[in-house]
């Protein structure tokens, strides 16, 4: 497909096509594919800056409208095919589409999600890529109330995520890590929620959190008790977060709380936060030495995973590695 210089793709009543330079006035919002909270959080800087650049309130059609709540220039709408068709049939409306998979154009990938969807309208500078959720006073008050039972000892947030196998650290390691942190006198806050499959995509399997089955006066279980924005404020009030590559990782990236991230098949440089133009800010990546050549794409500089199907999380960091990293950070931060 021949197009002008790289420019965003749009959807109108006729279909998906490139935006022409004289059509910016017709843009009324975004139509965002994808069902993961992480992908939608990564889109926040582009969506926000586009609204500011166009100087008008934009509709955001998405399966995760809560991500875009509380911003005065964003009007989140839960995607519905019938309603979307009616919307686009009125007044020559046009929505920026992201991500897109059209021959000759970039495929769906994380860098495209973050940087490309409104190219031609906005040019994201490094300073624009600081991802922030827009929380309210009520969210902050709720977070403070939830954490009230805890004392003054350091607070470590754990997200014992249960997802597809290539991104799941075994439950026994989460239990051992929890006992280790508690044994060091730290307070543990367990977070996360069950996320139902809302689409029919192959990858979007039901996700949730392991039940650690641990009772301790310094352990606070907040699983399935927080909204997205309340979770952001809970994390902001704690000292450290331990999580795998997950939606909670992206929520944590909206705070300045240090993250200890366990990565598997994804290059962490495209998933961790940017602060002051620096990637991986306030983030420690934990992994083990790779025993297989190209077992992970980011270990192998883009190589393919050689594991037989079904792929499982390899290069597993030990509990000792994670515990030592957590203890070292908390010791050095005092």
Collapse the DSSP code of 114 into the 3-class scheme (helix H, G, I; strand E, B; otherwise coil) and give the result: helix
Q: Which residue carries 């965002």 as its tokens?
A: 32
Q: Does the global pTM surpass 0.85? A: yes
- From 46, 41, 87, 84, select the one nearest 66 (Cα to Cα): 41
Q: What is the DSSP letter of 129?
A: G
Q: What is the DSSP letter of 246?
A: S
- Give the pLDDT confidence score for residue 108 in this predicted structure: 40
Nearest-angstrom CA–CA distance, 101 and 13: 18
Per-residue pLDDT tens for 107-140? Answer: 443 344 555 678 778 887 777 888 899 999 999 9
Average pLDDT value over all residues in the chain: 83
E strand map for the chain: 9-12, 15-18, 27-32, 58-62, 74-78, 94-98, 155-159, 161-162, 187-190, 208-209, 219-221, 240-244, 258-262, 274-275, 278-279, 283-286
Alpha carbon distances (Å) from 323 to 3, 107, 163, 234, 326:
52, 38, 22, 21, 5
Render 9-43 in DSSP notation, one character per residue: EEEETTEEEEPPGGGGGGEEEEEE----HHHHHHH
Give counts: helices (H), strands (E), the chain: 8, 16
- Give the pLDDT confidence score for residue 49 in this predicted structure: 92
Collapse the DSSP code of 167 into the 3-class scheme (helix H, G, I; strand E, B; otherwise coil) and give the result: helix
Nearest-angstrom CA–CA distance, 30 and 118: 9
Q: Which of 20-34, 152-166, 236-250, 295-309 has the lowest mean pLDDT?
A: 295-309
**209, β-bridge pairs:** 161
Q: Which of 1-15, 24-38, 231-245 has the lowest mean pLDDT?
A: 1-15
Higher pLDDT, 4 or 224: 224
Higher pLDDT, 61 or 101: 61
Higher pLDDT, 35 or 111: 35
pLDDT band for position 82 (cuts 50, 70, 90) = very high
CA 157 to chain centre: 16
- From 112, 223, 110, select the one nearest 161 (Cα to Cα): 223
- From 185, 181, 189, 171, select the one nearest 226 (Cα to Cα): 189
User: How confident is the model over 182-211, as a mean pLDDT?
Assistant: 78
CA 137 to chain centre: 22
Where along the chain do its domains lie? 9-129, 137-332
Q: What are phi and psi of 175, to 5 degrees?
A: -65, -45
Nearest-angstrom CA–CA distance, 186 and 217: 11
pLDDT band for position 298 (cuts 50, 70, 90) = very low
Residue 209: pLDDT above 50? Answer: yes
| Domain 137-332 class in CATH | alpha beta
- Give the pLDDT confidence score for residue 112 in this predicted structure: 41
Residue 299: pLDDT above 50? Answer: no
């Amino acid at each position: 497909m021949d197009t002008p210089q790289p420019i965003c793709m749009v959807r109108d009543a006729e279909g998906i096509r490139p935006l022409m330079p004289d059509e910016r006035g017709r843009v009324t919002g975004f139509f965002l594919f994808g069902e993961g909270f992480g992908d939608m959080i990564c889109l926040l800087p582009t969506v926000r800056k586009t609204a500011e650049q166009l100087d008008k309130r934009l509709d955001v059609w998405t399966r995760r409208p809560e991500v875009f709540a509380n911003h005065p220039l964003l009007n989140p709408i839960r995607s519905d095919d019938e309603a979307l068709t009616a919307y686009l049939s009125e007044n020559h409306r046009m929505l920026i589409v992201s991500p897109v998979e059209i021959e000759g154009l970039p495929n769906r990938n994380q860098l495209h999600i973050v940087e490309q969807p409104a190219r031609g309208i906005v040019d994201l500078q490094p300073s624009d890529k600081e991802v922030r959720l827009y929380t309210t006073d009520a969210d902050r008050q709720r977070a403070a109330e939830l954490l009230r039972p805890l004392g003054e000892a350091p607070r470590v947030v754990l997200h014992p995520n249960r997802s597809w196998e290539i991104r799941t650290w075994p439950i026994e390691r989460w239990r051992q890590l929890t006992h280790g942190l508690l044994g060091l006198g730290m307070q543990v806050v367990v977070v996360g929620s069950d996320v139902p499959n809302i689409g029919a995509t192959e990858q979007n399997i039901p996700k949730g959190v392991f039940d650690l089955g641990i009772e301790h006066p310094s352990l606070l279980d907040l699983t399935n008790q927080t909204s997205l924005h309340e979770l952001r404020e809970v994390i902001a009030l704690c000292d450290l977060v331990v999580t795998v590559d997950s939606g909670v990782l992206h929520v944590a990236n909206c705070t300045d709380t240090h993250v200890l991230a366990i990565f598997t098949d994804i290059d962490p440089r495209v998933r961790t936060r940017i602060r002051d133009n620096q990637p991986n800010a306030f983030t420690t990546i934990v992994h083990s030495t790779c025993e297989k050549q190209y077992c992970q794409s980011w270990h192998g500089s883009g190589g393919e995973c050689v594991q037989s199907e079904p792929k499982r999380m390899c290069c597993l960091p030990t509990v000792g590695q994670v515990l030592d990293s957590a203890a070292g950070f908390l010791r050095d931060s005092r």
